Structure 1
């Protein structure tokens, strides 16, 4: 690929980026995505702390697990999108028209690639955080890595449907434009730019207790009902609202709130 000479500062930076992208695509794409996930999660933590008036405690493991996912996901997208580019149009000759070709690639990507991407996100970010937390526990009984992995996969499977519903409100449109107008080697960059906001949103859902599995939603409903009945016995409506709000803000758990692709 020939990169035209640039005359402006931005143009020269873009030229260097493009040359590096051609020479080392996985390294450049992976480091960019890793940086974006790390920064986005760090910003999300700071904003959440400020909004909830909590003590400023930075969770490096949480941000680090997001950075690890950025590297893994970029490798997956690099080969997956290369496969789509070759398969659609050559293996499926009926979609030789440019727009039809684009829509077909986006449809396959959203129905096959996106669920794998999001499932992996939850396994790596949630599983990594839980593993580190288990190693820091003082008691002698600790969950084995295989047990944590199995529990994390089960949770990721439950989180996948509600996350996909949110995912499909944004990314099909983004990738239709991305696949139609941008060359293959720049598509991951476009996704990474949108990921600045989306990864922060996913991290907020994943760690803020705002996106719960169906099982957790049932537990929240049952606990709120218990709180309501106990409060009615005291003939006071105040505790109902107060305790229920505290529980829901705590992510449907007995502890305060600590804690969805592309």
Structure 2
């Protein structure tokens, strides 16, 4: 893989991606908004793994910052072999009556930035004849949980289409679709994790290890753990009317709204 660029690298799954890739002796480019956290992480990775860790502070909802990250992916003097589009946020609000500016920022972060960075990485990688793109979605992509489900459904379908287009180029595209993962994402989103049984939760290290193994094998859809593969299979088989009915049930209670809409996220905050 060579060098890996990870968005949302300072928290959540992004942090775990950074550690696992660094300990596997890959250089890393760490992208997030919090320079202090990124610099601290970079120092730890250099000391622990002996790799080169580059800090690239950027707000991916800002067009100029996003373009700087895209330019880094296009830089053939410092090629990136793996792009991990991981940055995400949990809105924890209804679409109607919610803060629409936050909705726009979530769209820019979880849809627009994935498209822009995937495009920049794919063009450079195809020219080289090798590389991999890993986009983090969620099992929520199969549900009807507001705009979060819509964003992740787009990421899933987009990545599948990209994988088809990249066949034969030496470049692969994988979409990661986990369920509930123990990270600080839920604390930042104000989600009460106690409303779910422990069996529903996955560990970040297991999710990331499974995702990277699938990337190496060229798997297109990576769904860590048997229980979530089964849940995803059931969700695909159910009529959409049943999925919408579940969404209506979820909307009937605030605590169910919390864990279903935002809690199913697995990606780290973009800070």
When the two structures are superposed, what TM-score results if normalisation uses the length of structure 1? 0.27
Flag the structure with higher helix content.
1
Which of 1 and 2 has greater Rg? 1
Flag the structure with higher strand content.
2
Q: Relative contact order (C-alpha < 8 Å, sep 6+): which is higher?
A: 2
